[in-house]
């Protein structure tokens, strides 16, 4: 049996779909299943059973021999959450317990880290950089970085483990995420609502308005990386999951307009003062480590990913 935590969420549900496509349906899905909107992500999926996140650890300790692999994707990912104890519970201590049971029972583990661990990027975006050198900008990034540091320092480890530093992921099944959804979804919604897209004006002289850069990665590529680590032999460790090519918000918005076959109309607004000092102007994953591990598939370009997402999912209100 394969475990997927965060199974009804964005990346987790896309991973469940990919596992089904690959012939894996003996799955244990773990999440908080009280959100009815998120449950649409699981419609049509094949799995053996579901467990509430609050019940999983007790069950796992008693039934570890039934599990062959764990994808620990679940986390509190609200970057605006201000209560440290929430992140400490879900993203740090809960993950430690998952790790410890995996280590004791020799179960391979892939878990979700985050590019938020890199903070303002002064130390670069290299997955070879020790987490102790990084300074995240928010409690979410701090919690993910704290677990990465703890994992690297543990003497007893699972037989294989990988912490995946997801960059700016977009794609189907994120419809429930509200303000935390990708810029692609927000752009499409703004265009349909008012015919234009509002982007942040630059407050950094090194960047023109709308030319702030991010490493946008399509969720279909993300789940390919997850499956790679389950099926192939690779060194344990932390790995970036991006495209390795930073693109601008203007490029992203332009791609959405083109996918909708609409005239490009972009308006620039000031970055709110309360987030202006912590606003990132550039992220770009170093991808050499993943390539050295023999992951050979090419990533969707921004234009290809946006076109597929908008035309085949967003416009049809379709799920993966």
- Cα gap 115→248, rounded to integer Å: 17
Interacting residues of 213 by C-beta distance below 8 A, sequence separation 6+ = 207, 246, 247, 248, 281, 282, 283, 284
Encode the chain (320 residues) as per-residue pLDDT tens digits.
Answer: 999 999 999 999 999 999 999 999 999 999 999 988 899 999 999 999 999 999 999 999 999 999 999 999 998 877 777 888 889 888 999 999 999 999 999 999 999 999 999 999 999 999 999 999 999 989 999 999 999 999 999 999 999 999 999 999 999 999 999 989 999 999 999 999 999 999 999 999 999 999 999 999 999 999 999 999 999 999 999 999 999 999 999 999 999 999 999 999 999 999 999 888 888 899 999 999 999 999 999 999 999 999 999 999 999 999 99
Q: Token pair for residue 31? A: 């999440």
Beta pairing class for 69-72 and 49-52: unpaired
- Are 299 and 221 spatial neighbours (Cβ–Cβ below 8 Å)? yes
Which of these, 266, 300, 93, 77, lies nearest to 181 by C-alpha position? 77
Give me the pLDDT at residue 89, please. 86
Q: Which domains does the chain have, with CATH numbers?
A: 2-169+216-244+284-300 (3.40.50.720), 171-213+246-281+307-316 (3.90.25.10)
Rounded to two decimals, the pTM is 0.96
What three-state secondary structure class fits 55? helix
Q: What residues act catalytically?
A: 140, 177
| Burial classification of residue 224, based on how many CB atoms lie within 10 Å of its CB (0-12 exposed, 13-18 middle, 19 or more buried) | middle
Which of these, 117, 97, 113, 112, lies nearest to 158 by C-alpha position? 97
| Burial classification of residue 58, based on how many CB atoms lie within 10 Å of its CB (0-12 exposed, 13-18 middle, 19 or more buried) | exposed
Tokens 């794609």 sit on residue: 171
User: What are the E-state strand segments in 142-253?
Assistant: 161-166, 168-170, 197-200, 213-214, 216-218, 237-241, 247-248
Which of these, 100, 214, 81, lies nearest to 158 by C-alpha position? 100
CA distances from 217 to 173, 175, 225 (A): 15, 17, 11
């Amino acid at each position: 049996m394969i475990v997927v935590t965060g199974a009804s969420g964005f990346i987790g549900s896309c991973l469940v779909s990919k596992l089904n496509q690959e012939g894996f349906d003996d799955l244990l899905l773990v999440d908080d299943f009280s959100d009815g909107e998120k449950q649409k992500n699981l419609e049509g999926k094949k799995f053996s059973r579901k467990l509430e996140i609050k019940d999983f650890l007790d069950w796992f300790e008693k039934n570890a021999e039934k599990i062959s692999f764990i994808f620990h994707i679940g986390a509190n990912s609200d970057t605006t959450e201000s209560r440290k104890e929430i992140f400490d519970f879900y993203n740090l201590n809960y993950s430690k317990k998952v790790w410890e049971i995996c280590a004791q029972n020799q179960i391979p583990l892939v878990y979700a880290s985050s590019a938020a661990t890199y903070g303002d990027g002064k130390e670069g975006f290299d997955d070879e950089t020790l987490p102790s050198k990084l300074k995240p900008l928010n409690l979410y990034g701090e919690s993910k970085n704290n677990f990465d540091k703890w994992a690297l320092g543990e003497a007893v480890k699972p037989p294989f483990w990988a912490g995946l530093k997801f960059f700016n992921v977009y794609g189907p099944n994120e419809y429930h995420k509200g303000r935390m959804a990708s810029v692609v979804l927000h752009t499409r919604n703004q265009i349909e609502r008012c015919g234009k897209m509002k982007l942040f004006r630059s407050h950094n002289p090194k960047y023109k308005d709308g030319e702030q850069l991010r490493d946008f990665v399509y969720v279909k590529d993300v789940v390919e990386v997850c499956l790679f680590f389950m099926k192939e032999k690779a060194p344990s460790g932390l790995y970036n999951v991006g495209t390795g090519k930073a693109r601008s918000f203007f490029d992203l918005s332009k791609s959405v307009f083109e996918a909708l076959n609409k005239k490009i109309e972009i308006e620039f607004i000031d970055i709110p003062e309360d987030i202006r000092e912590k606003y990132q102007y550039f992220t770009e994953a170093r991808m050499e480590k993943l390539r050295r591990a023999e992951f050979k598939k090419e990533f969707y370009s921004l234009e290809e990913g946006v076109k597929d997402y908008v035309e085949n999912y967003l416009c049809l209100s379709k799920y993966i």
